[in-house]
Amino acid sequence: MANVPEGLYYSKDHEWLRVEGETGTVGITDHAQHSLGDVVYVELPKSGETFAAHDTFGSVESVKAVSELFLPVAGEVTEVNESLTDEPEKVNTDPYGDGWMLRVKLSNRGEVDSLLSAAEYEDYIGSLE
Amino acid sequence: MRYIPNSPEERQEMLRGLGLGSAAELFDSIPADVLLKRQLDTPAALAESELLELFESMAAKNAAARRPSFLGAGAYSHYAPTIVDSLIQRSEFFTAYTPYQPEISQGTLQAIFEFQTLVCQLTGMDVANASMYDGSTAMAEAVLMAERVTRRSRVLVSAAVHPEYLQVAETYVAHAGIELGRLEVDEASGRTTLDPSALEKDVAAVVVQSPNFFGCVEELKSFAEQVHAAGALLVVVVTEAASLGLLRSPGACGADIVVAEGQSFGVPVSFGGPYVGLFATREKYARQIPGRLAGVAYDKEGRRGFVLTLATREQHIRREKATSNICTNEGLIALAATIYMTTLGRRGLQEVAEQCAQKAAYARRQISAIEGFSLPHSAPVFNEFVVRAPSDAASLLRRLAESHNVTGGLALSRYSPDRPNDFLVCVTETNRRADIDALVEGLKAS
Amino acid sequence: MTITKATTHVTQNEALVFERSQTGRRGYRLPALDVEETSPDELLPAELRREDDLEGVPELSEPDVVRHFTRISTWNYNIDLGLYPLGSCTMKYNSRLNEKVARIPGFANLHPLAPEEDAQGALQVMYELQQHLAEITGLPGVSLQPAAGAHGEMTGVMMIRAALDARDGTTSDEAQRRKLMLIPDSAHGTNPASAHLSGFTVKTIRSTSEGLTDLEHLRELCAAGEVAGLMLTNPNTCGIFERNIREICDIVHGAGGLVYMDGANMNALVGVARPGDMGVDVIHLNLHKTFSTPHGGGGPGSGPCCCTAELEPFLPVPRVVKTGAAAYKLDSERPQSIGRVKAFYGNFGMHLRALAYILTHGHDGLREATEAAVLNARYIAQGLAETFDRPFDSPPMHECLFTDKRQTRKGVHTLDIAKRLIDYGFHPMTIYFPLIVQGAMLIEPTESVGRAELQQFVDAMKEIAREAVEDAQTVLDAPHTTRVGRLDEAAAARKPVLRWRPAEKAAGA
């Protein structure tokens, strides 16, 4: 059973979002890292880049698959998890912690309401199986 | 048919086992209106002896294959040690598939890793792939890669790049949103000229060949400085890989991508193929490289092995977003090149290059001393150079073949109608002094 | 008696050529220089000469080199050893005779820029091969220039682009909109990659539950007038003949598009059915599959393009044409051609081998090989039907498709079955392809294997299925008999080491 912590927002593209004030932290879910397998490379944007909601902001690669990463909400990138360059496996071992990918300054705080709650996301991934 | 193990009787039994009455029923899922209802109109089967006789008779019509030759221009006659062809004919190498199952493909994988390393050493680069089809397609892929890396859309190609390479690049970029510009060649030196004002902001790369199509060694270092100052990449093309044994490596001159034709390394000229394209670049661009890469991996016991790696760049995973559509490349030819480079080794590669250059220098002196003949370009050369004849070069070479049984070079009119009297002469370590002297005598007599 | 091993067997730990290198060893000897020597500086200014003395390039004797490559070769599986059932790869017997033909000095020593009148034999080989491939495919225009399958695909779809541009112009609204290349979800990855390289936008067509192209979806996608073409493999990558092929071609043609066929699976059709008779406009062939030129551990291939008379003007230049009773020439005067896709004329050495294959078989032998290949696949399909899950019911052509569905309960997946097959002496089948079938195992025995060995393969697969239930761990840990076990591909991709470096430098890197 995939780990789906309470208190985060989720997208159907399997990204999570933690909101603290005007800042959102983004990563991929435990379900996503599990279906990808061993993550070997994470391609991320630079600080300062801005994205609309659902824009592709990078990609994550396993040995035999590559998945695009979609930003759940619009925002400007303020920080990138540089440590994933050397240790992409953190995405597997700690997807909600050390495996975080971006911090963004939210352009529109209201957008988070369109995202899924933990319970809703759990139902959603249940429906995929 | 002797290649089919199951006899007709065995096949009948197998058909019965499947509940089928005849072989035709195997194709019941094909609608009748697309079935071929007659025999193929191809020749009847030949016995082994008949087949060899037929091919020998066709080969006999290739008079050029038996003549001493001074043809180069993208395909070079070098001596290949006997063990090169002997080793690549081992079943384990030539009848194996692409090494998708590493546990039973370690021979191929280790050889690819050795090939990649040798290509890096010779070109002076950090990373090389498992091979491209040939030098020309490798150059086209380098142009596409430069666009990916820089996100710029204009590529300036020297007019002294092999004309067929340029044609291939034109085909490849036709739908890629890349515009090819041209860098002129200075008539006196035979070298490419790079006008700094040409290096506008939209230039992704500058492509130069060295030694260039006219045999002249380009000043790569100064190109690199100018190109890098403009934020573009320098792509260096090498058609005569033997030159790498003597010339400053493109990597040491500052190249960002080096592509080469590897045919010189133990591969017969074979009327144009199969050859092997070399593709090398800087570490930071490794994820943009086209084609396959072998890398080191370990098993649970800690034993070293090799696998195909960074495969997410490739078509079978990234499909239309792949760095290239290439799949099958030139594995066995890359192996031949690896065995050649290993056999010649550190000293032999230098010695072959040295002999090529020495013999070419001798031929240049002798030819330029003939009345009416001149060398139009002043830049240093490796083993190829342009000769200006007093009359039409194509007919001169034709007469030379008939009267002195020597293929004296390539008339440049094949590619440049405005150069009727010029021809390109290539000299390698396989051309004996007697052949060079015969060429000189022939030119004098014509 | 027991053998006490003093060291590991010499074949087990053969080092890299760089690690084996010993300063001063030589594996070559050149003739003495027979011309007056020119001084180094006169030859080339110092700033153009190498400075590194080729440091790191190996120094080995001839026996060192022979032993090295012989030893590492023993780590490879190969066709001459046994069944190599990679689906869609057609690993058939590679005749030694064809190797001999390709090495005849009159061909091997022929320079590509030799005057045409002195290369008539080579042009004749190419011309005759073109004629035979035209007859086999029912498509009269042939170019042998593409160097591999994907290269042939690129050539073919570029020809479609050029033909549409010639028909519609490039500026009209309609021409601007016609950018869509339809590709089934079961296709090989080179198809979308080649289409993209040729300026098309790729749209995926669904497959039906029978494993065939979904005609309704095709009609729907064709309705908008944006379709430039369709890329279809037939038999498709599930090993099933697309029985609606004529209708598929009619739909695409009716919508103003052209049909490209991926010829990877032509070993199911030679002498039996012709793409030209099905309505296909252009196809590539893999000489390194159907026509037995060796795979060589990943090439060289050869991917000739065959097309209709309507598309012929767009084939790459130069073309090889006949000018008289026994006279041939290269013709570049084709203004509508897509241009050149490779220097010179293609992988000529492969053309020789393919022609030798065709002439050795003769017209009846070509059909016989097709029948034998399909029969062998059917034999395996029947042999494994009770043991493994078959995703589609349609009778297979030259390859059969199974999945790991019945084995996954004990945690054994397709990858494990494949690795365990190695212990039984077989190369694994193609796995996880086509992508639309979960846990796919695609098995293509080809005609080059006898009944007893087919049965051994069937028995091995059944035994693995039994092990998957009774002794799953043995399967999960396979292979047990190879020089290395399963390699950590994730670690290899995270910190790629793509070349050897001297130890002291490697430590610093």
| Residue B312: closest CA among C123, C225, C285, A65 | A65
pLDDT tens digits, residue range C423-477? 999 999 999 999 899 999 999 999 999 999 999 999 999 999 999 999 999 999 9
Q: Is B75 within 8 Å of C344 when comparing Cβ atoms? A: yes
Measured distance CA(C403)–CA(C413) in Å, rounded: 9
- pLDDT per position as a tens digit, B250-271: 999 999 999 999 999 999 999 9
Please, which residues 459-498 of chain C have a Cβ atom closer than 8 Å to chain A?
Answer: 489-490, 493-494
> Measured between beta carbons, which residues in chain B are less than 8 angstroms from residue A62?
312
Nearest to C331 by CA among C346, C315, C343: C315
Q: Beta partners for B105?
A: C76
Q: What is the mean pLDDT of residues B326-354?
A: 97
Say what the pLDDT of residue C136 is.
98
Sequence-distant (6+) residues with CB within 8 A of B54 are: B46, C359
A contacts of C490 (beta carbons < 8 Å) = 37-38, 40, 62-63, 89
Residues of A within 8 A of B318 (CB-CB) are: 66
Q: ipTM of this model?
A: 0.98
Residues 268 through 327 of chain C touching chain B, CB cutoff 8 Å: 270-274, 277-278, 286, 288, 294-302, 316
Q: Average pLDDT for residues B156-175, to the nearest whole number? A: 97
Q: E strand or H helix at B180, and its extent?
A: strand B179-183
Q: What is the pLDDT of residues B194-210, one digit of tens each?
A: 988 889 999 999 999 99
Nearest-angstrom CA–CA distance, A118 and A114: 13
Whole-number pLDDT of residue C8: 76
Cβ contact B286:B309 at 8 Å: no
pLDDT of residue C504: 56
Chain B closest CA to C308's CA: distance in Å? 16
Give Cα C104 to chain centroid, integer Å. Answer: 25
Contact A77, A47 (CB under 8 A): yes
pLDDT value of residue A50: 94
Tokens of C355: 């022609």
| Contacting partners of chain C (3+ CB pairs under 8 A) | A, B
Is the confidence at residue A129, as pLDDT, over 90?
no
Return the higher-pLDDT residue of B279 and C507.
B279
Contacts for C287 with CB less than 8 Å, ≥ 6 apart: C293, C301, C302, C303, C304, C347, C350, C351, C353, C354
Strands B127-128 and A102-106: unpaired
What is the mean pLDDT of the segment spanning A79-105? 95
- How many whole angstroms separate alpha carbon B10 and alpha carbon C375? 11
Using the beta-carbon criterion (under 8 Å), do A64 and B287 form an inter-chain contact? no
Residue with tokens 């044609």: B167
Q: In the beta sheet, which residues pair with residue B405? A: none
Q: Are C388 and C465 in contact (CB under 8 A)?
A: yes
Q: What residues of chain A lie within 8 A of the CB of B311, using their CB?
A: 63-64
DSSP, collapsed to helix, strand or coil, labels residue C150 as helix
Record the tokens describing residue B254, joined without a space: 């500052």
% pLDDT > 90, chain B: 95
Checking DSSP bridges between strand B304-308 and strand B294-298, what pairing results, if any?
Answer: antiparallel
Contacts of A91 in chain C (CB under 8 A): none
A112 contact C CB<8A: no
Task: Tell me how close the Cα of B318 comes to any Cα of chain A, in angstroms.
Answer: 7
Asked if residue B308 has pLDDT above 60, the reply is yes
Alpha-carbon separation of residue B260 from B277, B280, B287, C183 (angstroms): 6, 9, 20, 34
Domains of chain B and any CATH numbers: 67-80+346-445 (3.90.1150.10), 82-340 (3.40.640.10)
pLDDT value of position C492: 95
Question: What value does the mean pLDDT take over residues B57-84?
Answer: 97
**C-alpha dist (Å) from residue B438 to B403, B424, C141:** 11, 17, 44
pLDDT number for residue C509: 37
Instruction: Tell me the pLDDT tens digit for each residue of C167-181.
Output: 998 887 777 889 999
For residue B317, give the chain A residue with the closest CA: A65
Contact B124 C52 (CB under 8 A): yes
Tokens describing residue C62: 């001839």
Closest to B318 (Cβ–Cβ): which among A41, A63, A66? A66
Chain A contacts of C413, Cβ < 8 Å?
Answer: none
Q: Is the pLDDT of residue B115 over 80?
A: yes
Q: What is the edge-to-edge ordering of all strands in the sheet holding A23-28?
A: A9-10, A15-20, A23-28, A102-106, A75-80, A50-51
Question: Which tens digit of pLDDT belongs to each residue from C339-363?
Answer: 999 999 999 999 999 999 999 999 9
Contact C487, B297 (CB under 8 A): yes
Q: Which residue has the tokens 């086992």?
A: B17
CB pairs under 8 A between A and C: 16
**pLDDT tens per residue across span B369-392:** 999 999 999 999 999 999 999 999
pLDDT at A1: 67
Go through the domains of chain C in sequence order and give each one's CATH number: 98-360 (3.40.640.10)
Pairs from C45-49 (Cβ < 8 Å, separation ≥ 24): C45/B380, C47/B221, C47/B248, C48/B217, C48/B247, C48/B248, C48/B380, C49/B246, C49/B247, C49/B248
| Cα B97 from Cα B331, distance rounded (Å) | 9
- How far is residue C243 from each of residues A8, B34, C399, measured CA to CA in Å? 51, 9, 16
The single-letter DSSP state of residue C397 is S
What pLDDT does C426 receive? 97
Residues B78, B417: contact at Cβ < 8 Å? Answer: no
* Domains of chain A by start residue, with CATH: 9-110 (2.40.50.100)
- Report residues of chain C scoring pLDDT below 50: 506-509
Contact B64, C115 (CB under 8 A): yes
Bridge partners (DSSP) of residue B278 are: B260
